[in-house]
Structure 1
């Protein structure tokens, strides 16, 4: 018989306890051996000082320098259309003709009336000369001579009236030919040949000068003051050679291939919009700009200036304003609110909040937050590579 100094426990319980102790030891060792995750990689770009030409954009509308409604100044049948609708014409080109017969007849009558008045005036002048001689010799009374003199003066006035009537008849005949007052493009004709036209009917057509053209746009009060101060613009005496260049972006997104100049600045602020009316002028040598077209007007500064620039991809916004995520000296993320100026070619001008050379996160923004460490990689390299 063997004696045991240990209490008797079931064998299964002993085995289970040993296994639990072993598993607990293994878990502690694995936790101690697990490596920490590396900081996330982000792409950064440095704030850089660059030579830039600042600009501002406005909505503008093309307007004709000259535009006229061609109205018939005398009544009659429209006899001839000398140009097709949409034709380009030169100054003085014949556009329409109204029937002339009645106006030629009126001119002939006026000429005959003038000739008759001149003949009568000549007769009355001879009578006055004769009676003057007789009056001086005492053969006729003063009253008789005065009557003859009055008839002479009346005849001379009739000559003047007949001459004016002839000139009016000649003008009316001239109005039967409607000519282009300036070079341009004629629009759609309102009437057909054979229809009656006159001063009280609608215009025959519109003629618009195609080159040069105006572009009208509005500038806010603050932008107006900046323009006057920065570019030394005198609103009372605009010198286009000294004003900044104007560029246009067309409705199809293309840039117009000509530069323009500021031609006019209004003398008051529109109280309804708080803006000042500006007008630019473009040569429009190829006739591409049509009156009424809406365009984007870009005013460029005459000289380049230095400015601190950052990529557009680095800029974020919240209720407080615009901010960027900066990678500091300890390779940790810092949120920085900035004041932005104009946007030029995808970059923003920074007027306050950053220093040259500071690194801004441009890719991987969704992986970080302020205060966390990061692996900063230049934006020219793929994120994750160093």
Structure 2
């Protein structure tokens, strides 16, 4: 019995060994057939190219009215009339508000009466002076008596001048009861209602703002200013609309404003707190779309186009060291840090780090890293450039 059991175990061991060898042989052949070498990943590349571009600089600006005024009552009284509704566009000379006139008209009448009285008294004193002059010449009055009469005449003449001045002031106060538009523009919200007391010490009645043209104020750093002087020939001493480079605006909603403007003023010093120089542009604002106080992007365009290297925006990545692009050289990926200029539509101007004709990856960036081999596929050009 022990012999039979040993023989059975030996026979089973042999069969198991043969089976293992057979299966191992089959497994080795199968793995080689199922795991071929993977091809390099495919990426889309675009060539760095030289193009004629009109470079520009961008600044944050704010629209400001050329003229705006707080309409203040220069005399006290009840607000008698509000001539136009809030928000009305008015012309120069249009009546806006009226203050009660009765007391000021009465002051004019009183001043006219005082002037007439002073003139009558002056005429009387002039007659006395003439009479005493004749008597002095004939020796009938003393020199002292004549001098007294002459002094009274001169005093009366001075009283006439004072009365005339009082009348002019009374008429001026009366004119202040009507408040008219000093320039064309739009009137804002009225502060007071008809019947309220207003005067020089109260708040302004309303604000009047000229709608067109408008200013745009923006600040330029010292290096940007020097570049603008070099590029555009700007000179604060003789800046004029005729000599100014063109300005354009991007509105808060991203829309490009339809008009172009000109620089009309450059400050004569650098602000020591910000290190910037104040610029002022002007736009006709014919459509009155630009409102005072609106923040906009101001674009200062170069006077002519220049050749520059351009790379698609999709090729630019950034890390802690700055912007970079993945370049394909001999089918291998290389990381290159670059210096960027301005953005032009969907491209960037490259000022350093890339060469004309190099191929940069624009699609498939997530599949590669520096040093790996790839299969580059040249991106097709946009329809408008083909």
TM above 0.5: yes
Q: For residues 141 and 271 of structure 1, what CA distance do their matches in structure 2 show?
A: 76
Find the counterpart in structure 2 of residue 73 from structure 1. 74
Displacement after TM superposition at 1:295 (Å): 1.6
**Matched residue SS, 1:356:** coil
Q: For residues 161 and 303 of structure 2, what CA distance do their matches in structure 1 show?
A: 63
**In the alignment, is residue 133 of structure 1 matched against residue 144 of structure 2?**
no
Find the counterpart in structure 1 of residue 384 from structure 2. none
Find the counterpart in structure 2 of residue 190 from structure 1. 191
Superposition pairs of residues 1-386 of structure 1, within 5 angstroms: 10-30=10-30, 34-328=35-329, 330-380=330-380
Find the counterpart in structure 1 of residue 4 from structure 2. none
**Number of residue pairs matched?**
374
Displacement after TM superposition at 1:30 (Å): 4.8
Displacement after TM superposition at 1:220 (Å): 1.8
Displacement after TM superposition at 1:276 (Å): 1.7
**Matched residue SS, 1:191:** coil
Query: Can you list the C-alpha shifts for 1:211-270, whole angstroms capped at 9, x where unaligned?
Result: 111111222222122112211100122122222222222222222221111222222222
Q: For residues 326 and 240 of structure 2, what CA distance do their matches in structure 1 show?
A: 46
Query: Can you list the C-alpha shifts for 1:8-65, whole angstroms capped at 9, x where unaligned?
Result: 9944444444444444444554555553211100000000111111122222211111
Q: For residues 337 and 292 of structure 1, what CA distance do their matches in structure 2 show?
A: 40
Q: For residues 186 and 207 of structure 1, what CA distance do their matches in structure 2 show?
A: 4
Q: For residues 198 and 261 of structure 2, what CA distance do their matches in structure 1 show?
A: 41
Q: For residues 20 and 243 of structure 1, what CA distance do their matches in structure 2 show?
A: 90
Find the counterpart in structure 2 of residue 5 from structure 1. none
Residues 27 and 130 of structure 1: is their aligned pair in 2 closer, same or farther, counting only changes over 3 Å? Answer: same
Q: For residues 194 and 339 of structure 1, what CA distance do their matches in structure 2 show?
A: 67
Q: For residues 319 and 292 of structure 1, what CA distance do their matches in structure 2 show?
A: 37
**Matched residue SS, 2:108:** helix
Find the counterpart in structure 2 of residue 384 from structure 1. none
**Matched residue SS, 1:153:** helix
Q: For residues 196 and 20 of structure 1, what CA distance do their matches in structure 2 show?
A: 112
Q: For residues 162 and 186 of structure 1, what CA distance do their matches in structure 2 show?
A: 38
Structure 2: 5+ residue runs without aligned partners? 1-7, 382-386
Structure 1: 5+ residue runs without aligned partners? 1-7, 382-386
**Matched residue SS, 1:289:** coil
Query: Can you list the C-alpha shifts for 1:106-151, whole angstroms capped at 9, x where unaligned?
Result: 1111111111111111121121112111111111111111111111
Query: Can you list the C-alpha shifts for 1:139-191, whole angstroms capped at 9, x where unaligned?
Result: 11111111111111111111111111111111111111111111111111111
Q: For residues 52 and 201 of structure 1, what CA distance do their matches in structure 2 show?
A: 57
**Matched residue SS, 2:36:** coil
Q: For residues 159 and 317 of structure 1, what CA distance do their matches in structure 2 show?
A: 85
Q: For residues 318 and 191 of structure 1, what CA distance do their matches in structure 2 show?
A: 59
**Matched residue SS, 1:271:** coil
